[in-house]
Amino acid sequence: MTVSPILTSPFYTLQHEGVATLLRLRSEDGTNRLTRACVLALTFAIEQLAAEARPLVIAGNPKFFSAGAELAEIAALNAPSAYEFARMGQHLMRLVADFPAPVWAAISGYCMGGGLDLALACHRRIASTHAVFGHRGAALGLITGWGGTQRLPRLVGKGVALEMFAAAEKIGAQRALAIGLIDAVVDDPVAEASSAINERGCFSPKR
């Protein structure tokens, strides 16, 4: 499949893969943390991509989809800045959820905290066999403010969602599939998502 690069930023790369656009998260340390600067950059990118209305695949690298928000930034927040940070993240997640074309999360490695919120905002989620999911905030005295408390129960049920939030445990791909968190476990999530989009075209997104 011909892949043509269209844009590179410090926080992501964009490529065309057939009819789909691949947005691959990136960072210097490889963990793809959703820092304030990263959230702003992704917000701008999603707004621009929405105008094209091409199907979108969001991915990370083999070890990390995203480790979530930057804890050092969170620790430095006061009440007003924490509220603003929450609204910023919620805006990004709504842009993804309301995207005018199908959005697939192609997940390899760790998908944690705010990274899981991003995956939850996507219309479909497929993962590699070694993917790991979790909302670990409770272990740090935190809870997500980016919409995960609403989207996770809708997917997996209130009981399972409360267990994931309160126990702050990590779960593997097969468990995530069993509870309905993801739609499929595959060897190559990016290739599978791109192939499915190119074969099927658009569909009514699963919310």
Angle between helix axes 114-121 and 79-97 (nearest 10 degrees) is 30
Q: How many CA atoms lie within 13 A of 136 on its CB side?
A: 15
Domains of the chain are 3-200 (3.90.226.10)
Residue 103: the pLDDT is 97
pLDDT of the chain along its 207 residues, tens only? Answer: 334 455 678 999 999 888 899 999 999 999 999 999 999 999 999 999 999 899 999 999 999 999 999 888 888 888 898 889 899 999 999 999 999 999 999 999 999 999 999 999 999 999 999 999 999 877 777 778 899 999 999 999 999 999 999 988 899 999 999 999 999 999 999 999 999 998 875 443 333
Would you state the structure tokens that stand for residue 175, as one six-digit string? 């468990």
Nearest to 132, CA basis, from 71, 173, 77, 90: 173
- In 130-170, which ranges are E strands? 132-134
Residue 2: the pLDDT is 38
Q: Quote the CA–CA distance of 207 and 190 in Å, as a whole number.
A: 20
Residue 138: the pLDDT is 73
Cβ atoms < 10 Å from Cβ of 180: 13
Residue 95: the pLDDT is 98
